[in-house]
Amino acid sequence: MSDDILLKVRDLKIGATVYPPGEKPHDIEIVHGVSFDLERGKVLGLIGESGAGKSTIGLASMAYGRGGVEITGGEVWVNGRDILKSPHSDVRKLRGGEVTYVSQSAAASFNPAKKIMDQVVEAAVEQKKFSRKEAEGRARELFAKLGLPDPDNIGDRYPHQVSGGQLQRCMTALALCPEPDLVVFDEPTTALDVTTQIDVLMAIKEAIADTGVAALYITHDLAVVAQVSDDIMVLRMGDTVEYGSTDQIINNPQEEYTQALVSVRSIEHEEKQPTQEPVLSVDGITARYKGLNFDVLHNVNVELHPGQTLAIVGESGSGKSTLARVITGLLPPRDGEITFAGRKLSPDLKGRTREDLRELQMIYQMADVAMNPRQTVGTIIGRPLEFYFNMRGSEKRKRIVELLDEIELGEKFIDRYPAELSGGQKQRVCIARSLAAKPKMIICDEVTSALDPLVADGILKLLLDLQKIEDVAYLFITHDLATVRAISDSIAVMYQGRVARYGSKSHVLTPPFDDYTDLLLSSVPEMHLGWLEEVVAHRKMESAGN
Amino acid sequence: MHPIIKLVSQRLALGFLLLFGASALIFGLTEALPGDAAQAVLGQSATPEALANLREEMGLNRPALTRYFEWLGGIVQGDLGQSLTNKLDIAESIGKRLGNTLFLASVAAVVSVPLAIFLGLLAVRFQNRWPDKLISAITLTTVSVPEFLIGYVLIYFISVKLGWFSSLAMVNDSMSFGQKLYAVALPAFVLTLVVLAQMMRMTRAAILNLMQSAYIETAELKGLSTFQVIARHAFPNAISPIVNVVMLNLAYLVVGVVVVEVVFVYPGMGQYLVDAVTKRDVPVVLACGVVFAAVYIGLNMVADIVSILANPRLRHPK
């Protein structure tokens, strides 16, 4: 039976050199002896949070270390030879020939200066697997199989001329073109919208089944990996937590950490009823960007009540971030008006008073670029205290410490720099900074999207707790429906610049749905086996019925 | 309209505007200098009456603006005026000398541009290893030594001691192309050494900057060799910055050759300009200034246009 083992990894150890601020560079181990087997034609899911070492392990199956990463020990057997001991010329044949790679961001992984076809066939031709002509024919077949439009000609386009979801499929075609034995999928659908993800996921799954290729499927999303893999390995901080069949991991997880991953997003939040006057009311907003000849927002009307959360949910291009720009005054609307705390807001940022600015704060997706890397946490949180309340000295320090306690970090963080914080801690500091201004409302723009699920959960819980203490309203912009369920009191679903559905949480999430909301809700991966097939079959039935 | 056509025509219009501005600046600066053409012709000891008469005769009493537009009108029609010292038509004298300068600059460019880019690619391939360090050391040394010194050192060893090349780079119309090449070999070599470093280091920096990109990783994971990755995947994206620095250096080859031409007594624009300055031949200085400005602006305009054409997003809009 050992002939069926395509990839055999034994006690794999991977190290890297780190350059911590203020310390000497030193070597650390990031993967501590991981072992697994992968049979031909099977799919193994590697799952874990950031820093778990899952991408690093995936790339090690091509004897590749990203950046300063180096494989320090163990064995990686592909097709019966240990590639860590093979000569470099052999490793080059393996890469792009026997093992290929699909990255998270196809947009960044395609060379912007070359046509898609040239890049898709390159490895197959270079590794002498096919002639250029054969490879192009194969590529067209794959384009068709992956559901790309105009498969005969799409290869003549440049990467910027196709959409993100299409490019991700082209990347899959690129990986399958040389007829490899193994494909490493590294978060191939993470950067996509949910409604696009479902199509790409299905395309990948069918392509795997049709070609009989084996795959390592790397993701942080357990619900996604449950749809495509035969076995799952749960990783944490470079160690194997649990390794078993997909069925066992999802339905009968043994380890506490796996159980936490399976049950993540279990926040219970009782929907509040709108009672008082709204703190924010957006009336008939229509807006467009300078230089465009079409509107990106059409007659948007929403209200947010004090101490409550309005979730603006939609996919990329739906206009949800544009709405935030209009509310903050960065983009004056063409029509409509915004009423905030009982007064009309100037459409333009320049016309807003300091009080307007103080009471309307913002938190961003990328916490690390929203902070000055050369300022300490204390300076960052203290700045609004000085600016809005003229606080100085011990009074300011006392308030900073209070805020640090509220975000569950504590006084010991006051002198740290952003680089010394984890992603979740950085976002907490950003939350404290916005709370320091004692705002009536905070716009949260995808604040948990860049975080791991468990960390994101912690941030959402914190935001809910703070809402109770500070009585602050949140305008919560997100593409993630699980987050919406967890935190919102009312919801506005946006689609192509319009509000497709709006109302209380229970109203918006209860059938009957409009077509778009139905599509959106049914596209969110669910954590049970066979979900993907069910949804796809259901949709086929519906379209046949129409 | 295709965005490329729009952008390119914008560049062209801007180029002409710049050239117009440069001509005004050159004219204004020579106006601001003490003394004028009449003073230069008659010398320091001329009587005020003689000066006044000559100024009247040369039309120097008319307002500067009128004379500027007359001069500009002449240039547009190809008339650069007459030299004060030898009364020859400037356009004719410049034509021949500009040809010589362009010949020397082209020889230097044909050698230095491909060499610099190749060395830059090589330096990236062997980044921080000895070939990279050697290339950097040599090119930085040659760019740090003044070109006249390199010129004289080469003349001393290669012309005087070894006798392989003449120390005078004389060319004339009766020479064949091969003879001309032989004559300009030494000055072209000096120029190559001068411009090599900047182009090579810019190529290296521009490509290294791209080597962190995700698409470079994709190319590496296709099993391509490092040099294939650099030449096929990094270089096409680095064309814009490289072309810019190449054009700056080409402009330097034409405009900055003054010193090298003087060292090798080469009958080019540089020599002509230096002669005119020492003889206070204002019309010639003006004409040389405009020609140099035109070359400089023209080459930079080409760099801009190539950058625009190298951008696939502009070439193939959605």
What pLDDT score does A265 carry? Answer: 60
Q: Is residue A267 part of a domain?
A: no
- Give the pLDDT mean for B224-242: 89
Q: Is the CB of residue A214 less than 8 Å from the CB of residue A182?
A: yes
User: What is the β-pairing status of strands A231-236 and A239-245?
Assistant: antiparallel
**At A388, which CATH number?**
3.40.50.300
Interface with B, mutate which of A83, A100, A111, A161 (most B CBs under 10 A)? A111
- Number of folded domains in chain A? 2
Complex ipTM = 0.77
Using an 8 Å CB-CB cutoff, list chain A residues near B310: 113
Q: Is residue A7 part of a domain?
A: no
Using an 8 Å CB-CB cutoff, list chain A residues near B220: 64, 95
Q: Is the CB of residue A519 less than 8 Å from the CB of residue A542?
A: no
**At B204, which CATH number?**
1.10.3720.10
Which residues of chain A, if any, have pLDDT below 70?
1-3, 20-22, 264-268, 545-546
Q: Give CA–CA dist B290/B284, Å, rounded.
A: 10
**Is A356 found in the same domain as A254?**
no
Contact B215/A112, CB-based, under 8 Å? yes
Facing residue for B214 by CB, picked from A109, A123, A157: A109
**Is A315 found in the same domain as A205?**
no
User: What is the β-pairing status of strands A5-18 and A70-78?
Assistant: antiparallel
What pLDDT score does A37 carry? Answer: 93
Contact B214/A62, CB-based, under 8 Å? no
**Is A287 found in the same domain as A151?**
no
Q: Give CA–CA dist A211/B126, Å, rounded.
A: 39
**Is A242 found in the same domain as A101?**
yes
What pLDDT score does A177 carry? Answer: 92
Which of A90, A103, A79 has its CA nearest to residue A219? A103
Contact A109/B225, CB-based, under 8 Å? no
Using an 8 Å CB-CB cutoff, list chain B residues near A174: 218
Q: Which helix (H) or strand (E) holds A231?
A: strand A231-236
User: Is some CB atom of chain B closer than 8 A to the CB atom of A108?
Assistant: yes
Contact A111/B313, CB-based, under 8 Å? no
Interface with A, mutate which of B210, B215, B216, B230 (most A CBs under 10 A)? B215
What pLDDT score does A289 carry? Answer: 86
User: At which of A235, A262, A289 does a domain end?
Assistant: A262
Query: Could you tell me the residue range of the domain that residue A452 belongs to?
Result: 280-510
**Is A190 found in the same domain as A242?**
yes
Contact B312/A101, CB-based, under 8 Å? no
Q: Who's near A526: CB < 8 A, 6+ residues apart? A: A223
Q: Give CA–CA dist A338/A344, Å, rounded.
A: 6
Residues 172-191 of A with CB under 8 A from B: 174
Which tens digits make up the pLDDT trace of B272-291?
Answer: 888 888 877 888 888 888 88
Which residue did the predictor score with more confidence, B313 or A231?
A231
What pLDDT score does A260 carry? Answer: 83
Using an 8 Å CB-CB cutoff, list chain A residues near B218: 101, 103, 109-111, 119, 174
User: Is some CB atom of chain B closer than 8 A to the CB atom of A103?
Assistant: yes
Which tens digits make up the pLDDT trace of B134-165?
Answer: 998 988 888 888 888 888 888 888 887 887 87
**Is A369 found in the same domain as A258?**
no
Query: Could you tell me the residue range of the domain that residue B211 belongs to?
Result: 99-279
Q: Is residue B178 part of a domain?
A: yes
Using an 8 Å CB-CB cutoff, list chain B residues near A64: 220-221
What is the nearest CA distance from B284 to chain A, expressed in angstroms?
47
With a cut of 70, say whether residue B75 has pLDDT above it. yes
Q: Who's near A509: CB < 8 A, 6+ residues apart? A: A485, A491, A521
**Is A294 found in the same domain as A170?**
no
Q: Is the CB of residue B103 less than 8 Å from the CB of residue B183?
A: no
**Is A297 found in the same domain as A180?**
no
Q: DSSP letter at A177?
A: T
Which of A358, A362, A378 has its CA nearest to residue A370? A362
**Is A48 found in the same domain as A138?**
yes
Facing residue for A109 by CB, picked from B218, B236, B310: B218
Using an 8 Å CB-CB cutoff, list chain B residues near A92: 223-225
With a cut of 60, say whether residue B113 has pLDDT above it. yes
**Is A308 found in the same domain as A236?**
no
In Å, the largest CA–CA distance within chain A is 75
What pLDDT score does B1 carry? Answer: 66
Contact A101/B218, CB-based, under 8 Å? yes
Q: Is residue B171 part of a domain?
A: yes
Q: Is residue B220 part of a domain?
A: yes
**Is A253 found in the same domain as A285?**
no
- Number of folded domains in chain B? 1
- DSSP secondary structure of B187-245: HHHHHHHHHHHHHHHHHHHHHHHHTTSHHHHHHHTTT--HHHIIIIIIHHHHHHHHHHH
Q: Is residue B180 part of a domain?
A: yes
User: Is some CB atom of chain B closer than 8 A to the CB atom of A88?
Assistant: no
Chain B residues near any Cβ of chain A (below 8 Å):
213-215, 217-225, 228, 233, 236-237, 310, 312-313, 316, 318
**Is A477 found in the same domain as A397?**
yes
Contact B312/A113, CB-based, under 8 Å? yes
What pLDDT score does A545 carry? Answer: 61
* Nearest Cα residue in chain B from A67: B212
Q: Is residue A240 part of a domain?
A: yes
Which tens digits make up the pLDDT trace of B76-101?
Answer: 887 777 777 777 888 888 888 888 88
Using an 8 Å CB-CB cutoff, list chain A residues near B233: 111, 114
Q: Is residue A186 part of a domain?
A: yes
What pLDDT score does A444 carry? Answer: 93
Q: Which helix (H) or strand (E) holds A183?
A: strand A182-186
